[in-house]
Amino acid sequence: MNNFVLLNDTLNFNFRNWNPDTKDNEYEKFLYFVTLKLSYGYKSNSIHLGDPVFKQFNGFYHRLCMSILETKPTHHRDRWPIAFAFLDVDGTKTAPYVPDWCLSGFHIHAILMIHPSTKKRCDAFIRSGKIAGYAKEWQGVSAIEMQPYDPEKGTVENLISYSSKFVSRGHDDHWRAYPEMSPNEIINGDHRYRRGSGLQ
């Protein structure tokens, strides 16, 4: 799949549902980059060991929703962040191929778009330092970092390419979308946003 075209289309589509009069790629002002690292020393030929990382990211995602929405997240599902989380392992930044038998350093790179109405609370949440505290509280997580997208450091296409470099090398099903849905649902075009009910 073309990760950039697919995700860029999805982000634009959903952002226009939040703000119908916006222009293409205006979502970039509300884009964030998240990295979650697993502390376990996994080293295995079994890709399914990425599953604990997604479970940890799922926990972070829901904690974020509770922190940036003024009331219970279930009351404002239409304002939940749109996120794409990609499994990654050590070595993909420099090596064109990492054999399955030596996979280690499981972590998540995620691209996250927030609802404009939650930006102030989201930025305050980042400044509060609570994210680093979560990494200390959660067993199995060594670090969580979240920062706003900075266009001076590169394009969104570069960010997506960097985040999905492991997925792009033959591991197409090792990414997730939030609110929860499978990669196949997005690839098949089932990423249409229904007002008031979230990403379906």
**Backbone phi and psi for residue 40, each to the nearest 5 degrees, phi listed first:** -60, 145
Per-residue pLDDT of the chain (200 residues; tens, 9 = 90+): 466 677 888 888 788 888 888 877 889 999 999 999 887 655 554 455 556 678 888 888 988 988 898 766 666 777 889 999 998 876 555 555 555 545 657 888 999 999 999 999 999 999 998 888 887 777 778 889 999 999 999 999 999 888 888 877 766 677 888 887 544 544 444 444 333 333 33
**Backbone phi and psi for residue 187, each to the nearest 5 degrees, phi listed first:** -60, -35
pLDDT at 110: 94
pLDDT at 127: 93
pLDDT at 93: 59
Residue 190, C-beta contacts closer than 8 angstroms, at least 6 positions apart: 181, 200
Does the predicted model carry a pTM greater than 0.85? no
pLDDT at 49: 53
Pair 186, 6: CB distance under 8 Å: yes
Q: What is the dihedral of CA 150, 161, 189, 194, to 10 degrees?
A: -20
Left, alpha or beta for 53 (phi > 0: left; psi -120 to 50: alpha)?
Answer: alpha
- DSSP-assigned beta bridge partners for residue 35: 109, 145
pLDDT at 45: 47
In 3-state terms the chain splits into helix, strand, coil percentages (rounded to 5) of 45, 20, 30
pLDDT at 197: 33
